Chain A
Amino acid sequence: MKLTIGFSVNGDSVEVEVLPHWNLLKVLRDVLELTGAKQGCGEGECGACTVLVNGAPVNSCIYPVLEVEGKEVTTIEGLMDKSGRLHPIQQAFLEKAGVQCGFCTPGMIMSAFALLKANPDPTEDEIRHAIAGNMCRCTGYVQIVESVQHAAAVMSGRSQERAGKE
């Protein structure tokens, strides 16, 4: 009944046994024990399960696992560099108080990561549009938006004052 599929997670090749109806989130959490991606609704409404498949953010809770075969999956666990240094977006969420309970944080950071890759200097509206599918119930989003703005400034080498004014 089970099928074996191979794909890459954060640069490592993995082979897992799956059932056809499983979704990517289940495999990440239950099988690979990568519990950074969270389940908040299981229906693609909250974005807590956001991971990248071939660079594009998706809701892994409704992503059929058989569809990741041969693809590259990036999760929050793969964002730090090899030396264990935080990615600038992670660093920015930490410094600019974008984290409260933290349950939405991994998904939120993955959406921000995809945004900044495509658009290194987003406006506030573009940021809010990009994270519209990531619900947060703690922060009110203001400090999250500031965290993403700060990360954008740091990543593109712009000065901090500018980041503050945006």
Chain B
Amino acid sequence: MKNKDKPPELQPFFDKNIAGDVVPSIGISMPRIDAYAKVTGRERYAADYYGFDMIWAGVKRAGIPHARLKSVNTQAAENLPGVIAVLTHKNISGSNRQGVIRKDQPVLVDDKVRHCGDAVALVLAEDKETLAKAIKLTSADFEPLPGVFTTETALEENAPLVHEDHPGGNVLLKASLEIGSVQSAKEHCDVLVEACFETPLVEHAYLETEAGWAQLKEDGKLEIVASTQTPFRDRMEVADALGLEPERIRMIAPYAGGAFGGKDGVTVQSLLGLAALHANGRPVKMWWSREESFIAGTKRHAARMYYRLGAKADGSLHSLDTRLYFDTGPYDHLGGVVITLALEHSGGPYRIPNVSFKGWAVYTNNPIGGAFRGFGVAQVTAAMEQMMDMLAEKLAMDPLKLRLKNAVRKGDKNCVGVTLTHSTGLVECLEAVARHPLWTERAAWKSKAGPFKRRGAGIVALMHASGYGPVVPDVANAKVELTAEGKIKVYCGVVDMGQGNAATNLQIAGSILCQNVDRIELILPDTDRTLPSGSASASRCTYTFGNALIGACETLKLRILQRAADLLMVDDCDETALIPGAVRHLPTGREIPLHRLATFMNESERTATQRFRAPTAKEIPPVGNEIRLHGFPHTLFSYGAHLVRVEVNELTGVVDVKRYLSVSDCGKIINPHVYEQQIQGAIAQGIGYALSEEVQVNEGKVLTADLATFIIPAASDVPEIESQPVEIYEPSGPYGLKGVGEIATNGPLPAIANAVADACGVRIFRSPLTPSRVLRALRERLSEGGVH
């Protein structure tokens, strides 16, 4: 049992790793360094802080989608014993605005409520029960305003405006790109297919809801520990919103209990900072309930996508015309960046000479659309990969051959005009699927479907950009230290939200410096201790930070060997080598322990840093500067091909995913276990997206605000997943690696939709493919006189 009077620990718990005597190598599956504390329950997540003298903070949510705020009534709550403060926008001396690109989200509502989850007041209380009561006693007077709840109505003339001051009205960002001409597509194409796809609003549903704690220290420093993907950016946002100098704020990011994009940006941070400023130096904790996470947290954008794809009779793609409408809810969050990445990927990994892409991120009074693994690409891939199957059907062509025919290869221009100069393994992925028995033997398998069952196979081709693109620097700064005790400290700049990059960092440092796991300590992201390295997002973590870390480790290694050579009085440090705990002079076998060596080096000498900036595309495609600002275009892509076998129950509409194959070109692999985790987990999330996950909203109110009504896959819902890497070396990546975090999420929805179409000849344009939607489609097909 822990002592209540103990001062709060800032650093999460670390313990001896099980494989402590192992010297890491690149390319092997070694147990994750973080797993030990996690399997023993000792890991201290942001939600796990219960310290001496702690206060609870909580939020009064608006509960109304669109209204002018007239007043907040705090008196009744303030009078409640045990309530420390009830704060409103009047207590905020900064801009009271948060946001990554467009700062349009208040910490606490001042002028207007724009969605039900808006924070109206912040309550501080001695305990959770008093807090709950005080939140209930806090009320607000609203003047309700008509709301906009679909992108269609939001774009109507005279639609109520979500932000009166936004020059674009309810259009947060319109992105467009034209190459060649789609106008004459009808004349030049032998075949045209057209469709409109709708994808749902989706919740991340990480197991750890938004959480953190904060304290105003005696020296005036505001310390905030939060479950976040973006500590360095958070610091700037919180500083601006609360009117503080950024250097007064210290953000600390322990291991997060899942994030998937939902913690890419401020959740509890500004609120906690504000609370700590009014807590007389006491630590303040905030932990959103599951319901609050559903109502106030960000979501994957719901999308409506119009596609028109034209091809020649031989299957070569000729033109693609798309219009994308993404519901970004009331705030930018990352909506502009999401629609831009969606636009960039809307033509898939294909060569298409004539394209016209238009995308709108539209303000509504629905929940906030934001970052979610896949980041706009999940939506457009769902559309484009179904279009490819529809086209194949019309051409009476094998869908895999159609993809191979049009697949981008290294040196090609992709359909947004970027020359692919990095490794481009799509063809290899597709060929691996084409060779696989799950594909070659599908006809026999399909024919063995039982009564009332129909079987089908579906494939998709995938690409996913990594990094931020141009303008916003995709930079990481790694720092590694030989401690005075002769151990190695790795200062991780990028958050580990579960993806395992912290363990990978240890693997890289241990491998280069030849130190066993016990001799290496990881310092997790902390604005006071680690160096700014960007967000844990965009499939960039190990690519960008890993490159920086390799540089830092090589620098430190050389410095250690040179110093050792000097002390051993040998001419050439090439004759020395690092071994666990020491440097050895190889010709003579003489050794100098690292802890001795460290005493001869001063602190600056024992520390090495390295900056790395990810490469950007050098082409300037025909888009406005606004779009470039939002990260267009990218130069580095991962690729993949997925295959799924499904069985559809004709009587119930249930789609049973039987087998799944994923082939990925994400470069070389540092830790196969961690790589596999990323692929498997992404596919499981993708299956949920395809079949069951849908945040239902009525007039801005979330109807499915718990895990009993928002259905994520449980253990029996995920099939056997086979994953094959196509390990093509990417010269710009650390050890040849590319990003793997997101790409596999994009596959299951279109793959399953294609498999359902293959099984029963119906295509369902609105996802998820719930049993009732599938059954209705089957019935409609029957009534149209289709085959049965």
Touching chains A and B, CB distance < 8 Å:
yes
What is the interface of chain A, defined by CB distance below 8 A to chain B? Answer: 12, 14, 19, 29-30, 32-43, 45-46, 48, 75-77, 79-80, 86, 90-91, 93-95, 97, 99-106, 109, 125, 127-129, 131-145
In the complex, what distance in Å separates the CA atom of A139 from the CA atom of B38? Answer: 14
Query: A134: nearest residue on chain B (CB-CB)?
Result: B715
Q: Cβ of B39 and Cβ of A90 under 8 Å apart?
A: yes
Bound-state CA distance A95–B713 (Å) is: 24
Q: Is the CB–CB distance between B258 and A101 below 8 Å?
A: yes
Q: B18: shortest Cβ distance to chain A, in Å? A: 6
Most-contacted residue by chain A among B35, B205, B255 (CB, 10 A): B35
- Give every chain B residue within 8 A of A97 (Cβ-Cβ): 29, 31-32, 673-674, 676-677
On whether the beta carbons of B41 and A106 are closer than 8 Å, the reply is yes
Contacts of B787 in A (CB 8 A): none
Count residues of B near A (Cβ-Cβ below 8 Å). Answer: 63
Q: Which of A39, A94, A129 contacts B36 (CB 8 A)?
A: A94
- Are B40 and A90 in contact (CB-based, < 8 A)? yes
Chain B residues with CB under 8 A of A127: 715
For B261, the chain A residues whose CB sits under 8 A away are none
Cα A138 to Cα B496 with chains together (Å): 13
In the bound complex, how far is the Cα of B39 from the Cα of A144, in angstroms? 12
1/0 per residue, CB under 8 A from A, across B514-528: the answer is 000000000000000
Known: A80-B40, A135-B707. A38 touches B715 (CB 8 A): no
From A79, A103, A143, give the contact of B206 (CB < 8 A). A103
CB-CB nearest 9 A-B residue pairs: A36-B41, A101-B498, A102-B38, A103-B257, A140-B684, A76-B41, A140-B680, A103-B207, A97-B673
A31 nearest CB neighbor, chain B only: B50
A102 to B257, CA, bound (A): 6
Complex Cα distance, B43 from A99, in Å, reads 12
The answer to whether residues A103 and B208 also contact, given A42-B289, A90-B39 and a CB cut-off of 8 A, is: yes
Contact mask for chain B residues 245-278; partner A; CB cutoff 8 A; 1 contact, 0 none: 0000000000111111000000000000000000
Residues of B with Cβ closer than 8 Å to A?
Answer: 1-2, 4, 18, 29, 31-32, 34-45, 47-48, 50, 129, 204-209, 255-260, 287, 289-290, 497-500, 673-674, 676-677, 680-685, 706-708, 712-716, 718, 720-721
Q: How far is the CA of A39 from the CA of B32 in the complex (A)?
A: 24
Complex CA gap A75/B41 in Å reads: 9
**Complex Cα–Cα for A82 and B247 (A):** 45
Jot down 19 A-B pairs with beta carbons below 8 A, ordered by A. A34-B1, A35-B48, A38-B257, A40-B209, A41-B707, A42-B290, A80-B40, A86-B36, A91-B18, A97-B673, A97-B676, A100-B677, A101-B207, A101-B255, A105-B38, A135-B707, A139-B681, A139-B684, A140-B684
Interface of A: prevailing SS: loop
Q: Looking at the assembled complex, report how far the CB atom of A94 sits from the nearest CB atom of chain B, in whole angstroms.
A: 4
Chain B residue contacts of A104, Cβ below 8 A: 207
Given A42-B290, A45-B707, A45-B708, the answer on whether A140 and B718 have CB atoms closer than 8 Å is yes
A132 x B714 contact (CB < 8 A): yes
Partner of A93, one of B39, B42, B289, B706: B39
Out of B255, B716, B720, name the residue touching A129 (CB < 8 Å). Answer: B716
Complex Cα distance, B677 from A110, in Å, reads 21
A86 touches B41 (CB 8 A): no
A94 touches B206 (CB 8 A): no
Structural contact, A43 and B715, CB atoms closer than 8 A: no
